[in-house]
Amino acid sequence: MRGIINYIKEVVSGVKTLINGMKVTGYYISHPKEIITQQYPENRDTLKMMDRFRGEVIMPHDENNEHACTGCQACEIACPNGTIEIIQDRILNEETGKKKKTILKFVYHLQMCTMCNLCIPACPTDAIKMGQNFEHAVFDRSQLTKVLNKPGSKLRDGVEE
Amino acid sequence: MKFDIYDFSVLTASIHESLGSMMGETAVMITEMVIVGVIFLTLFAVLGLALVYAERKVCAFFQQRLGPMRVGFWGTAQTVADAIKLLLKEPLMTKSADKFLFNLAPFIIIIASFMAIAAVPFALGLQALDLDIGVFYVTAVSSIGVAGILLAGWASNNKFSLIGAMRSGAQIVSYELSVGLSLLTIVVLTGSLQFSEIIESQREGWWIFRGHIPAFIAFVIFLIAGTAETNRGPFDLAEAESELTAGFHTEYSGMKFAFFFLAEFVNMFIIAAIGATMFLGGWMPLHFGELTSFNEIMDFIPPLFWFLGKTAFLIFIMMWFKWTFPRLRIDQLLTLEWKYLLPINLINILVMAFIVLMGWYF
Amino acid sequence: MERVELQNKINSFGVEVTFAESEVPTQFLTAEVSSENAHALISELKNNSDSSFDYMFCQTGIDFPEHIEVLYHLRNTQNNSEIVIKARIEDRENPAIDSVFDLYKTADFHEREIFDLFGVKFNNHPDLRRILLDDDWEGYPLRKDYVDEVNIVEL
Amino acid sequence: MSVKELHKATESQEYFVNMGPQHPSTHGVLRLLLTLDGETVTKVEPHLGYIHRSIEKMCEKDSYQQIVHLTDRMDYLSCHMNNEAVCLAVERGLEIEVSDRVKVIRTIMSELTRLSSHQLWWGVMGMDLGAITSFLYGFRDREMITDIFEETCGARLTMNYNIPGGVMFDIPANFQTKVKEFITHFRQKLPEYDQLMTNNIIFRNRTEGIGVLTKEDAISYGVTGPSGRASGWSNDIRKSHPYSAYDRVDFKEIVYTEGDSFARYKARIQEMWESMNIIEQLIDNIPEGNYQEKTRAVIKLPKMEIYQSVETARGELGVYINSDGKKNPYRVKFRSPGFSNLNALNTMAKGGKIADLVTIMSTIDLVIPDIDR
């Protein structure tokens, strides 16, 4: 007899736990306000990334098309993956008559970048920073190799002091 | 009864007559068969699309998601798009698969559910086959489907598929018993196996209310066993995505896969429809004994809506099961059947027979 | 257990052991043994009721120009005392050492890894195969003289 | 072959099934060669290396700052603890004492990482057992933590927040309010986890008594973390070798003695409560101080050996650095918890069903990149 009572108890308590579980899911289906879906491409206008979000390395240029990169290669050394490649050039300074290093191209291989943020603190002149763009999908891998300094841009005066 | 105005037999009879005036008796029969066949084919497609959409939405809301939202208004055309995608997909097959059986399996499954749906009473006078052994016919026919699953698993020549098929075989053979016995509990009450008569007998009230606790227990068991019969979660061991990748239909793609998918949803509909018919009065409106005015208002809602509403309710409960519970293990599945459902069912049917003998039901 | 105490204890095992000496105190007590004596020492350390280092939390190899070392980091789960055993394998061409799988089951994977990456053969290991690399991989990548012009890119 | 053996061999119904490398429940590219007798598993043989990236070899070429970001890619779910292990090791070698602020920030971030890892584990565990809904609930709560991470360090998964000598950025202004908001939210939601899964009879039957690992085996196999503690072995590095600010907080070490899947499950659920306790103790009194100690641009460790272990969400992660005085380490070894935990899989899964194997795999919480490195 005790066996039968235990058997019934087992069934009843088992069913109770199942109903308890169904209560949880039942709560959510009856509370559509709890829905947390964000519809991504549609909410692009309101989507704001966090300030520190690391999307890609960018080089800010001011209105005179000037940047702050002296071509010191500190970022290139700091990068663990060889993502940054600086092609240098020497131009003659008219006033002093000395040759001076500048950058010809600041090549950034986005396909190799792990967004580790080691290059940013390494830069002595704050010439590069992390951008917010994260939509990097392209059709061809070669498009991921970017030149960060804009054509015709030059070093901002007073950065090197 | 007020709902007699919605009697579909008037419509069918007039069609029969007008056809009879045009052609001979055999031709009439063949034409009618073709018409019914076409209607059911369309119903299959529509049901499949609607149920897949419903499942995706319901599951999404259980999970605090929105579900498909892109194609059409609130994603209503999503399943159509999916169907087109499946149609255009390449039908792949493993090199060492048994080609004939591999191609045959999805058809067996779909034919089984096709045959079962023929006996479902949709509304007053709207039933393709009103057999006098309807209950028996449906239980018999719906178990043909397992042959298709076994074939699919075997012919795929894939061990995961085979394990899934064998699980499914063990599962359906045992849960067939519970489904049959729980239906039998109601058959004891009605004294008939014919669906139209069973519904007619619920004119005064649905069996789940009139049949005391045994009817309710039978209903719960039917729901559990019915879910198991359709290979749906928490009894989806034959697919068991996290264990067997996709079980018996691992190797299927394109339209052949869609057949399995469709059959699963249509089977769910059939189980829910049978449950609604046996326990919830089928297309019979909700009646409360003395409340005449209430009963009359209920009668104005067409029987088809009553039927579809009840079926949808049962389908929703089955979805609720699926999206809440973890999957059972194969030995626990069989334990549940043989140690719990079957004994409870047998005692239940005994109690029910006693109640019927004493005439204690309402 | 104090280091000195443990040191004396190990000396009493009768296995030839030298203890690493350096100006900066090392993090763990480090005992250096030859590859032949390693198994005997570790077995003593594990089974001796006074020390009973029952948990090997790390096992690794290091490739030096002249020899290969296999390191065993052992911990006593009762009092958290730790010891490092360095087994020195002189033969860099065909390094071999006795497996400690009979003492620590975790050695199963760790020794396979050392075999895979350093080429050290563990005698009596139940299933010594490459674990991370392909079975037909040539060479032992963590050795300092390993060259692979295709996969290693020098920056 | 004797007659008896011949009889046994012919009667044997054993067959092999390759589970993985692409399989829903291996959570990555792990290949298990199963020997099955019907549904019963008689032997499990893991084949690793499908995502081996030779991180240890790469470390020999990198500077000490650069090693840190590689550890993100090992156990990506407890990346903060991995970073911390390397940084603690390097700091020990350089004999830098970081400020209390850094210690507390590191501890809070570690515990948040542990929480997020366990939340994901809970969701995935449900999915492995067939309850897909739990997966979404787990991710829902994890989302709040990843938002905090994103705001603090700019990345959601591979954070690379620690650097030798401190942390990369100071915490943002609303860090404390956001963390407290999360804690209040999660204190309400965690009982829901119990309601949905822990108490569910199907779940109980699927986990109780499944995949028992004895204490002796756990120690011998080196099964650490919640998996080892469920076998009755108290192996919490946070208690036995306190690092960062763990010596100044009061928390329980969760130890169960059953050693089955359900004990491992409970251990993780309880650890979530404890993690919240730790964070609550620290969040209100983050001391002032530098968030970074100045280090040289090129770090050179003296000729020495360092072993530093931390408690990740999966167990004991050890970093062994052998330095020869140059700017690159001579040898780096990561003693990853998953590697040792996986070793014990055969012992646990033998004799169970295929479904049990899936349960066991999710309760020992494997992360494949952690195993392959």
For testing contact with chain A, the best of D201, D204, D327 (most A CBs within 10 A)? D201
A56 neighbourhood in chain D, CB within 8 Å: none
What residues have CB less than 8 Å from C22, skipping those under 6 apart?
none
User: What is the predicted pLDDT for the residue at D202?
Assistant: 87
Best of C58, C76, C83 to mutate (most D CBs within 10 Å, chain D): C58
DSSP H stretches of helix in chain A: 2-29, 74-78, 119-122
**ipTM surpasses 0.90:** no
Angle CA(B209)–CA(B214)–CA(B220) in degrees, nearest 5? 85
* Span D33-62, pLDDT tens digits: 888 887 888 888 888 888 888 888 888 888
Local confidence band at A45 (pLDDT 50, 70, 90 cut-offs): confident
Per the CB < 8 Å rule, is D297 touching A122? yes
Bridge partners (DSSP) listed for residue B199: none
Mean pLDDT, range D294-308, rounded to an integer: 82
Smallest Cβ–Cβ distance between A80 and the set D62, D153, D169 belongs to D62
Average pLDDT over residues D186-206: 87
Rg from Cα positions in chain C = 16
The average confidence (pLDDT) of chain B is 82
DSSP annotation of B336 reads I
Given a contact cutoff of 8 angstroms between Cβ atoms, the answer to whether B119 and B278 are in contact is no
Report residue D47: phi and psi, to 5°. -115, 120
Those residues whose C-beta lies under 8 Å from the C-beta of residue A80, and which sit 6 or more positions away, are A114, A116, A118, D62, D66, D69, D70
pLDDT digits (tens, 9 = 90+) for D168-192: 888 888 888 988 889 998 898 888 8
Angle between helices B254-279 and B159-190 (to 10 degrees): 20
Residues of A in contact with B325 (CB under 8 A): 18, 21
Give the tens place of pLDDT for each residue, B14-57.
877 887 787 777 888 888 888 888 888 888 888 888 888 988 88
Output the pLDDT for position D1: 56
pLDDT tens for B212-230 read 777 888 888 888 888 888 8
Sign of CA dihedral D285, D290, D291, D292: negative
Nearest CA to CA, how far is D84 from chain C (Å)?
18
Judged by CB atoms closer than 8 Å, whether chains meet at D65 and A118 is answered as yes
Sheet holding C18-19, edge to edge: C18-19, C29-34, C82-89, C68-75, C55-63
Specify whether the CB–CB gap between B120 and B270 falls below 8 A: yes
For residue D11, what pLDDT band results from cuts at 50, 70 and 90?
A: low
Q: Decide: D221 and D344 in contact? Cβ < 8 Å.
A: yes
Contact by Cβ (8 Å): C40, C15? yes
Q: Is B160 on the interface with D (CB under 8 A)?
A: yes
Query: Please, are residues B324 and B290 in contact by the beta-carbon 8 Å criterion?
Result: no
Closest by Cβ to D339, choosing from C54, C109, C130: C109
Given pLDDT bands bounded at 50, 70 and 90, which one contains residue C24? Answer: low
User: Per residue in D343-368, pLDDT tens?
Assistant: 888 888 888 888 888 888 888 888 88
Residues 280-299 of D with CB under 8 A from B: none
pLDDT at B289: 66
Task: Residue A38: list chain D partners with CB under 8 A.
Answer: none
Nearest CA to D189 out of A28, B234, A17 is that of: A28
More confident residue, B335 or D9: B335
Chain B contact for D23, CB < 8 A? Answer: yes
A21 → closest Cβ in B61, B64, B325 = B325
Lowest mean per-residue pLDDT among A69-73, D104-108, D132-136: A69-73
pLDDT at B1 over 60: no
Burial class (CB within 10 angstroms; exposed 0-12, middle 13-18, buried 19+) of D163: buried
pLDDT tens for C109-155 read: 888 888 888 888 888 888 888 888 888 888 888 888 888 777 777 76
Name the pairing type of β-strands C121-123 and C96-98: parallel
Q: What is the mean pLDDT of residues A112-136?
A: 85
The pLDDT value recorded for residue C34 is 82
**Residue A103: phi, psi to the nearest 5?**
-90, 140
pLDDT at B153: 85
Q: Are C109 and D342 within 8 A, CB to CB?
A: yes
**What is the distance in angstroms between the Cα of A34 and the nearest Cα belonging to chain B?**
6
SS (H, E, C) B51-104: HHHHHHHHHHHHCCCCCCCCCCHHHCCHHHHHHHHHHHCCCCCCCCCCHHHHHH
Domains of chain D in sequence order: 52-372 (1.10.645.10)
Please give the DSSP secondary-structure letter assigned to residue D47: E
Domain architecture of chain C: domains with CATH: 3-106 (3.30.460.80)
Residues 260-319 of D with CB under 8 A from A: 297
- Residues B132-146: tens digit of each pLDDT: 888 888 888 888 888
Contact A37/B66, CB-based, under 8 Å?
yes
- Residue by residue, DSSP assigns D119-165 as HHHHHHHHHHTT-HHHHHHHHHHHHHHHHHHHHHHS-SSS---EETT
Q: Of B242-246, D174-178, D303-307, which gets the smallest average pLDDT?
A: B242-246
d(CA D1, CA B293): 87
Is C106–D220 a contact, with Cβ atoms under 8 angstroms apart? yes
CB contact under 8 Å between A28 and B61, yes or no, is yes
| pLDDT score of C72 more than 60 | yes
Residue D106 has pLDDT above 60, yes or no: yes
User: Using CA atoms, how far apart are residues D93 and D330, in angstroms rounded to an integer?
Assistant: 14
Candidates C46, C69, C74, C109: best to mutate against D (most CBs of D within 10 A) is C109
According to the model, what pLDDT value does residue B76 have?
85
Q: Is C33 within 8 Å of C87 (Cβ atoms)?
A: yes
Cα–Cα nearest to C142, from D25, D342, D60, B318: D60
Q: Which residue of D has its CA nearest to A18?
A: D200
Q: How far is CA C96 from the centre of its chain?
A: 12
B4 pLDDT band (50/70/90 cuts)?
Answer: low
Secondary structure letter of residue A86 according to DSSP: E
What angle, rounded to 10 degrees, do the helices at D100-128 and D354-363 form? 170
Q: Do D24 and B245 touch (CB under 8 A)?
A: yes
Mutation test of the interface with chain B: which of D132, D141, D359, choosing the one with the most B Cβ atoms within 10 A? D132
Could you tell me which chains touch chain A, where touching means 3 or more CB pairs under 8 A? B, D
Give the mean pLDDT of D233-250. 86
Q: What is the pLDDT of residue B361?
A: 67
**A21/B contact by beta carbon, under 8 A:** yes
| Residue pairs between chains A and D whose CB atoms are closer than 8 Å | 71
Confidence class for position D160, pLDDT limits 50, 70, 90: confident
Rounded CA separation D162/D113 (Å): 13
Residue D7: pLDDT over 80: no
Give per-residue pLDDT as tens, B20-32.
787 777 888 888 8
Answer for the pair D256, D263: CB distance below 8 angstroms, yes or no.
yes
Nearest to C132 among D48, D322, D340 (CB): D48
> CA-to-CA distance for A22 and A71, rounded, in angstroms?
63
Cβ <8 Å between D343 and C106: yes
Number of CB pairs < 8 Å for B and D?
A: 81
Q: How far apart are CA B308 and CA B276, in angstroms?
A: 9
Contact of D33 with chain B, judged by CB distance below 8 Å, is answered with: no
Q: What's the pLDDT tens digit per position in B73-119?
A: 888 888 888 888 888 888 788 788 788 888 888 888 888 888 888 88
pLDDT at A161 over 70: no
Model confidence at B129, in pLDDT bands (50, 70, 90)?
confident
Q: D202 and A18 in contact by Cβ < 8 A?
A: yes
> Which residues of chain A are within 8 Å of residue B317 when distances are taken between CB atoms?
none
Contact yes or no for D86/D67 (Cβ under 8 A): yes
Contacts of A130 in chain D (CB under 8 A): 154
For B324, the 3-state DSSP assignment is coil
CA-to-CA distance for D21 and B252, rounded, in angstroms? 20
Phi, psi of C138, rounded to the nearest 5 degrees: -105, 135
For residue D350, the model assigns a pLDDT of 85
Inter-chain touch D201–A23, beta carbons under 8 Å: no
pLDDT-derived band at B305 (thresholds 50, 70, 90) equals confident
Contacts of B344 in chain A (CB under 8 A): 11
Pairing, β A66-67 against β A154-155: parallel
pLDDT confidence of residue C10: 73
From the centroid of its chain, how far is CA B143?
Answer: 12
| Mutate: best of D45, D57, D241, partner C, most C CBs <10 A | D57
Mean pLDDT, all residues of chain D: 86
Minimal Cα distance from D171: which residue of A? A52
Largest CA-CA distance found in chain C, in angstroms, rounded:
52
Exposure pattern of D339-363 as b/e (b: 16+ CB <10 Å)? bbbbbbbbbbbeebbbbbbbbbbbb
Count of CA atoms in the C-beta half-sphere (13 A) of D30: 27
Q: Choose from B61, B227, B242 for mutation: most chain D CBs within 10 A.
A: B242
Is the confidence at residue D330, as pLDDT, over 70?
A: yes
User: Which of the other chains make 3 or more beta carbon contacts under 8 angstroms with chain C?
Assistant: D
Nearest Cα residue to D314 out of D129, D138, D89, D74 = D74
Residue C131 has its nearest CB partner, among D48, D333, D344, at D48
> What's the pLDDT score for residue A94?
67
Query: Under an 8 A CB cutoff, do D219 and C108 touch?
Result: no
The 8-class DSSP code of residue D332 comes to E
- List, in sequence order, every beta strand (DSSP E) within C7-149: 18-19, 29-34, 55-63, 68-75, 82-89, 96-98, 121-123
Q: How confident is the model at residue D3 (pLDDT cuts 50, 70, 90)?
A: low
pLDDT, mean of residues D270-283: 89
pLDDT on residue A47:
83
Structure token digits, residue D367? 């992360």
Is the pLDDT at C1 greater than 60, yes or no? no
Q: Do B69 and A39 touch (CB under 8 A)?
A: yes
What is the distance between the alpha carbons of residues B334 and B328, in angstroms, rounded to a whole number?
Answer: 10
| CA nearest to B336 within chain D | D202
Q: How far is D198 from chain A (nearest CA, A)?
A: 9
pLDDT of residue C155: 62
Cβ contact, residue pair B66, A11, below 8 Å: no
Angle, CA D45 vertex, CA D42 and CA D48 arms, to 5°: 160
Mean pLDDT score, D306-329: 87
